[in-house]
Amino acid sequence: MGDATEAIYAELPLGRYIRLLYLAPGTGRDAITAHLSTFPLISAPPYDALSYVWGHSGDVEQIEVNNSTVPITKNLRAALARVRYADKPHVVWADAICINQRNIRERGHHVGFMGAIYSQAKRVLVCLGPDEDGGARDVAELVAENHQLVSKYKSVEEMPILLTDDPILNDVRWTAVATLARCVWWTRTWVIQEVGLAKDPWVLYGDYEFSYRKLMTMAMWVDRCAGHLLLRAGVEFNSIHIEWVDWSPEWEKNNWTHERSFLDLMNQGSWLGCADHRDHVFAMLGHPFAQLDGESETLVKADYSKDFHEVYLELALQLLKEKKGHRLLSAVEHNENTINDDFPSWVPYWTVQETMTNFGIYTGFPYGASTGIDICALDILGGNCLQIKGVILGAITSSFKFTTSDMAEPGKKTDEESVDASEGVFGEIWRQIQENKSASAYQSNYLTAFCFTLIAGCSGYDSAEANLHQHQENFAAYVNYRLGSTPVELSADSQGRVRSGDREKFWLDMRIVCRARSFAFTENGYYVLGPAVMEPEDLCCVIFGARVPFILRRTETEGKFKLVGEAYIHGVMHGEAKVMMGRVCYI
């Protein structure tokens, strides 16, 4: 903030002290005038905390604070103008101005109790910005209508999945929700904590206001019951906003049936962006899951003097101590750069997240690759080398990375049309399957293995086997669309299912697991859905204690490997490896 910094910031006392901004009344483009006052957090007067996108540091406007002219970003100026009252002062807390951003020590200190600042606020105001397309009213109406609909059920999970011809899916107002979901705010790492710890978060969108948690309930309903809205209107929310809407232990207990931990939060949060790589971890430390049992300390301490590699390794070592520590390995995702660097390959890079879901982290997925096998401890050697025990299933012989064309939305063509089979790699995968079906590990069931591998054995959050008949119909319709005709390899019965199958539904299931992944074949005939950087001669492995298989890469040291990432390998997802001999490996 330049020379004005010394004029508006006095040194804060030791402990949990904060500055609050008293906004003078005003409307429209009136100049913004305010003053800062310091309080102990525990006895601070009622205030609202702002959640907003900082914006570009070079794009600034002037406001008056403590009788000094202070430059702030245009985004913050717009947020302050939106929340100020016309007839009385408004007490707010906004990080960019209430924390002296030029004081590194003060910044680090505030990160340690940032969660308390947001949880103590009377309200957290989510400032999404102006309603440039005029759809804010439509969003507010849909939030209210959906709240009435959901209130008729005990939970969203009990609500029926909409059929493709349901009129709700054709409501033109959903395009306004898609526009809202594309606001930059949804991509920020810090906002998850800001609304998750809030008592009462509200969204300010243009001139309209509505409950953030009711909006997220609607988003959950779209995700679980109205997935076709992605194709019809482009409605899509990041799962972390849906599944971590409230960080209170009471909400976790009452709204989530599967066991979760800090790892789940970190894994879903890696989609989000932040300028400082360390903040992928530090921004989540306000969650109760980050607390060490029986202690006031967190799993790691927010310390900006540490390199982000050091922070990531420190967190990984803590997460390995969990009861189901093997799940950490499923969070590992590499790109062409990280797989070749010297950092331990088993430590998740929270800056790398291209896939839409991880097979082995969410405990609700129906996988059990190590079922029937005694869990082997994960031992750390030399500070960063991980000793594992597992079964090598075989080597990759060929691998095909799915392309943008492979993920193309099927709804963009008519029922009589198909995509160009030469686009993407789907056609090549299909040809290899046909040419090598005699060598397949699945024999006559190779088509079932193929369609299950394309969706990692799941439809939505459930096993595809639970509704196998419908899944096969959807697969037949999708293959017909992709290849331009119903292949003769499909049975006569399956060919008849093309017309009754839902190719959109198959694409939705496939898209979730195939994005940023590769399809591969092994030397012994298995089909693999694995990391995008997977390549021939990589090894498939079931690590004892892990719920899913993994891909390993040899190094120059005998018996030592790099962890490339997790995989779905049809035929070894339910304990089949228990009859195979294990070996000790190092990664």
What does pLDDT average to in each consecutive run of 10 residues of the chain (587 residues)?
68 95 94 97 98 88 94 95 97 96 87 92 97 96 97 92 92 98 96 95 98 97 93 93 92 79 95 93 93 81 92 96 92 96 96 92 92 83 88 95 87 49 79 90 92 93 83 88 69 58 90 96 97 98 95 94 97 88 68
Residue 198 lies in a domain: no
Q: Nearest to residue 512, comparing CAs of 551, 461, 476?
A: 461
Q: Are 552 and 394 in contact (CB under 8 A)?
A: no
From CA 114, how far away is CA 107, in angstroms rounded? Answer: 10
Whose structure tokens read 């102006």? 130
Q: State which of 121, 154, 173 marks the end of a domain.
A: 121
Neighbours of 483 (CB within 10 A): 15
438 lies in which domain range?
Answer: 403-514
Neighbours of 381 (CB within 10 A): 9
Q: What is the pLDDT of residue 414?
A: 42
Residue 138 lies in a domain: no
Residue 108 lies in a domain: yes
State the DSSP code for 356: S
Neighbouring residues of 378: CB distance < 8 A, sequence distance ≥ 6: 320, 325, 326, 386, 387, 388, 545
Q: Nearest to residue 329, comparing CAs of 402, 374, 267?
A: 267
Residue 186 lies in a domain: no
Residue 75 lies in a domain: yes
Neighbours of 231 (CB within 10 A): 17
Tally of structural domains, the chain: 2
Neighbouring residues of 427: CB distance < 8 A, sequence distance ≥ 6: 421, 482, 483
Q: State which of 514, 543, 561 marks the end of a domain.
A: 514
Residue 294 lies in a domain: no
Residue 6 lies in a domain: yes
Residue 509 lies in a domain: yes
From CA 516, how far away is CA 514, in angstroms rounded? Answer: 6
Q: Report which residue type is found at 307.
A: D
DSSP element (H, E) containing 379: strand 379-381
Q: What is the pLDDT of residue 584?
A: 65
Q: State which of 121, 145, 174 marks the end of a domain.
A: 121
Neighbours of 486 (CB within 10 A): 17
CA dihedral of 530, 338, 184, 358, whole degrees rounded to 10: 30
Greatest C-alpha distance within the chain: 82
Q: Are 320 and 311 in contact (CB under 8 A)?
A: no
Phi/psi for 535 (5° steps) reads: -145, 165
SS3 annotation, 90-131: EEEECHHHHCCCCCHHHHHHHHCCHHHHHHHCCEEEEEEECC
Q: What is the pLDDT of residue 498?
A: 61
**What does the block give as tokens for 514?**
């195939």
Q: What is the pLDDT of residue 416?
A: 43
Length of the chain measured in residues: 587
3-state secondary structure of 39: strand
Whose structure tokens read 């901004």? 21
Helix then strand then coil, in percent of the chain rounded to 5, is 35, 20, 45
Q: What is the pLDDT of residue 360?
A: 95
| Cα-based distances in Å from 487 to 364, 475, 484, 490 | 34, 12, 9, 6
In a 13 Å sphere around the CA of 369, the CA atoms on its Cβ side amount to 29
From CA 534, how far away is CA 563, in angstroms rounded? Answer: 10
Q: Nearest to residue 358, comparing CAs of 479, 545, 513, 486?
A: 513
Q: What is the pLDDT of residue 415?
A: 44
Q: Are 183 and 133 in contact (CB under 8 A)?
A: no
Neighbouring residues of 531: CB distance < 8 A, sequence distance ≥ 6: 333, 334, 517, 518, 551, 564, 565, 566, 567
From CA 283, how far away is CA 193, in angstroms rounded? Answer: 7
Q: Are 170 and 226 in contact (CB under 8 A)?
A: no
Q: Are 347 and 329 in contact (CB under 8 A)?
A: no
Q: Cα dihedral sign for 182, 146, 231, 245?
A: positive
Q: Report which residue type is found at 370.
A: S
